[in-house]
Structure 1
Amino acid sequence: MKNTVKIVVVMLLFSTAINAQNRSNRRADFTPEQQATLQTKKMTLNFDLDENQQKSIYKMMLKNTEERKAKRQNGRTQTQEERFEFENTRLDRQLAHKEEIKNILTAEQFEKWEKLAKRKGRSGKKGMKNARTNGNSTCTFQKLQNTLKKRNKF
């Protein structure tokens, strides 16, 4: 019985390690132009943008993605002051982004955009955690490990 449990635990560890490696390769590394095009098309589908709006959104998204990519390449460990400055400028950029979107979209489109942005913001990290663990706060392996510890068989 002990050997069977040990084999199951080892198999779970290997399968977890293999799955973790595959996840990192799923995300494609798009160019800023490709990212801007995809984001513009998504917004066109959601908000029924006209040609002028599409061009304006594309330019804005391209500028934002290029800035993000440049900042990501300059990444290094930050002091507390640098982190505060980063968060402060990030929030300023978000406000400017919202204002630009408001100038491009109609009132009805902007209202719909705000609703989607709020829903997207709510899901955030908690939403991803719930998606990975099916709404549970602990994963199956941790439950198995805790059960085995309680039985003194691990």
Structure 2
Amino acid sequence: MKNLTAFIFAAILSIAVSTAQERGPRSEQKRSPEEIAKVQTERLTQSLGLDKPQQDSIYKSVLKIQQDFKGKGGNQDPGKWREIFDKQNQKIKSFLTKEQAVKYDELLQQQTNRRK
């Protein structure tokens, strides 16, 4: 379970980092929760073929979690990060079909492998 949590944390963090690199020099910390939610939703839509209701649900979920996170000053405790990103990952998966969830897990695994 501990390894799964670390894996999920690393995967979500890598999504955030790769997204920040694609958008230019602006760091993830300077992005608004709305920007983060939009970019993550767009990437997942492209990768998983999300329909409009899934896009809306995932956007709202990621936005709420990012607002909570940023509202707490972007807590620097790695244990708290894992908890937040694990919660976000589970929420995202709750909106996916079984096939999309498998693709999502593969995507997270690929991103984890790239970070090694």
TM range (shorter): 0.5 to 0.7
Does residue 116 (structure 1) correspond to residue 107 (structure 2)? The answer is yes
Supply the distance in 2 between the matched residues of 1:100 and 1:74 (Cα, whole angstroms). Answer: 20
Change (3 A) 1:97 1:32: closer
1: CA distance between counterparts of 2:86 and 2:74? 24
- Under a length normalisation based on structure 1, what TM-score does the superposition of the two structures give? 0.50
Matched, 1:94 2:93: no
Normalised to the residue count of structure 2, the TM-score between the two structures is 0.64
Q: CA deviation at 1:68?
A: 2.8
1:27 corresponds in structure 2 to 26
Contact 2:62 2:88 in 1 (8 A): no
Aligned match of 1:78: none
Q: Say which structure, 1 or 2, has more relative contact order (CA 8 Å, 6+ apart).
A: 2
Q: Give me the CA root mean square deviation.
A: 2.3
Unaligned runs of 5+ in 1: 1-24, 76-82, 127-154
User: Using the alignment, how far apart are the partners of 2:75 and 2:83 within structure 1?
Assistant: 20
Larger of the two Rg values belongs to structure: 1
- In structure 2, list runs of 5 or more residues that go unmatched: 1-23
Whole-Å Cα distance in 2 between the matches of residues 110 and 42 of structure 1? Answer: 14
| 1:5-154 to 2 correspondences below 5 Å | 26-28=25-27, 29-72=30-73, 83=77, 86-87=78-79, 89-124=80-115, 126=116
CA spacing shift, 1:70–1:123, aligned 2, 3 Å:
farther
Report the 3-state secondary structure (helix = DSSP H, G, I; strand = E; otherwise coil) of the residue aligned with 1:26: coil
Q: Deviations over 1:35-85 (max 9, x none)?
A: 21111111111111111100110011101222332334565xxxxxxx5xx
Q: Report Cα offsets for 1:1-33 as digits up to 9, x if no partner.
A: xxxxxxxxxxxxxxxxxxxxxxxx812532211
CA–CA separation in structure 1 for the residues paired with 2:73 and 2:108: 23
Q: 2: distance between equivalents of 1:55 and 1:32? A: 15
% identical aligned pairs? 32
The structure-2 alpha-carbon separation of the partners of 1:41 and 1:90, relative to structure 1 and needing over 3 Å to count, comes to same
